[in-house]
Chain A
Amino acid sequence: MMITPAPHPVKTAEINPTADVVTVSHLFKSFGANHVLADFNLILHKGESIVVLGKSGSGKSVLIKCIIGLLKPDGGEIRVLDQDIAELNDIEMDALRAKIGFLFQSNALYDSMSVRDNLEFPLRRHWIQVTPGEVDLMVMEALDDVGLKHTVDMMPVELSGGMRKRIALARTLILKPEVILYDEPTTGLDPITSKEIIELMVEIQRKYNTSSLIISHDMNCVRLAGDKVAVLLNGRCRACETYEELQKSKDPEVLQFFQI
């Protein structure tokens, strides 16, 4: 069944405060003399959606790349689904990654593969035990979720920017992840398509009860997609509250994001 985007995204995820999906504790990451993350702390609960807001180059993408294990932190601890990622071997890390969806800023669709092959790739690579018929059903269900069933045999180069973003989202959904990490999901899209993608993200979270960590500096995305907003300033999480609470923040550096 295809998800019909709601006129206004509704945040209905049931939050269980006792279940922490992602816990980032005292995270440090530097590139040479550039200290990108310095004692960063964040907790993402089950079913919750947090948008990490920060200036360009403030280390937002570095944060989620550390969480998914693409970058190695210099210090601190990252626990995802109750596992310390620093202690996992390659096989355990792959098993954990099967439970995490990652939407890349550039979509990262494989140019040499059709949409079907792009979606099947994570299934085949994570050794998911499914029959060819089931694979086909899963691919069509994921495409149905993003409203693009008709593109199944198209190549990525034939798709528009918004369609590519939706296909990339479908690829993250195919393994039914427990947590989805979004890296600048609306970057490079026009305002209407951006709104459609944001609505889709909210609907997906509601349908599958996933937890979401969204990196963005698009204030529409921040306002509509997040249960909470974490403000990343000078390598630290300066505040993590609701959008409305942060609008009344007394910290001028935090407040500057909400006065644009």
Chain B
Amino acid sequence: MGNNSTFSLFLEETGRITVFFARFMSHWFRPRYEFAEFLRQCYIVGYRSLPLVGLTGFIMGLVLTMQLRPSMVDYGVESQIPAIVGIAIVREIGPILTALIFAGKIGSSIGAELGSMKVTEQIDAMEVSGTNPFKYLVVTRVMATTFMLPVLVIMSDFISLYGSYLGVNIKGITSFNLFWNQVFDNLVFSDVFPAFIKTFLFGFTVGIIGCFKGYHSNKGTEGVGSSANSSVVVSSVLIFIIDLLVVQVTDLIG
């Protein structure tokens, strides 16, 4: 009975997200375009996330290199560290780590903000003020997360690789040019392109789930906390699922 109930709740939630997604698709290309709000959201979700994304990326690059070094030394392939770290960061670690940090910071923020606006009738007030709240609040945020996450991932990748460069030089000496040459010489189009494409999907997921949870918030202030929390949980799980699917598809394509 309990399992049936949980399963039916899951199906119901999936259906509601699908309807929300369809509503987004029918709204995003139609005027009135909210460029000013879109740019403001790009600033908030992009520029203001950069310090956190940069810091975590830097630490990840540094730690990954330091952890990898002993094994690489054992196998006598220490010189391959830049190449291996470069591929690992660009293909997987950079996108997935940045997307998870992004989901934690931006997904929860969107869920809580829209949830709060919902329970305090601010969304209704917008509608009364001649504004389509779905376009103004949802479309702008989803577009901003979709376009800003790839930019953040690119920046995070470079910062991670710089962290790795410092990591390499803790117990050895590698010139700046040699390090970057080794990284880029070993990266091919099939490493970069799928990784770049999936960041758009991650960004879209964080935005649409955060907006969905916030827009359908209820139960007052308790609901706001719940929206923020479930935005992070659901979008994080979906990020891993999308990652898995993208890897399968790109492997099939070759």
A residues sitting closer than 8 Å to B (CB atoms) are: 65, 68, 70, 90, 94, 97-98, 100, 102, 104-112, 121-122, 125-127
Contact = CB atoms under 8 A, between A and B. Distances in A.
B130 A97 contact: yes
Interface residues of B, number: 15
Contact of B124 (A108, A109, A126): A108
Contacts of B174: none
Given A98-B130, A125-B126, A126-B130, 16 more contacts: A65-B124, A70-B128, A90-B132, A97-B130, A102-B125, A102-B128, A104-B125, A108-B120, A108-B124, A109-B122, A110-B117, A110-B125, A111-B120, A111-B122, A112-B113, A121-B131
A122 B130 contact: yes
B129 interface: yes
A90 B117 CA distance: 22
B129 A121 contact: yes
19 contacts: A70-B124, A70-B128, A94-B130, A97-B130, A102-B125, A102-B128, A106-B120, A107-B120, A108-B122, A108-B124, A108-B125, A109-B122, A110-B117, A110-B122, A110-B125, A111-B116, A111-B120, A112-B113, A125-B131
Contacts of B129: 97, 121-122, 125-126
The majority secondary structure among interface residues of chain B is helix
B82 to A, nearest CB: 44
B121 interface: yes
Contact of B121 (A98, A100, A106, A121): A106
B127 interface: yes
Contacts of B124: 65, 70, 104, 108
Interface in B98-155: 113, 116-117, 120-122, 124-132
Contact of B130 (A65, A107, A108, A125): A125
Contacts of B130: 94, 97-98, 122, 125-127
A13 to B, nearest CB: 23
A229 to B, nearest CB: 25
Contacts of A121: 129, 131
A106 B125 CA distance: 10
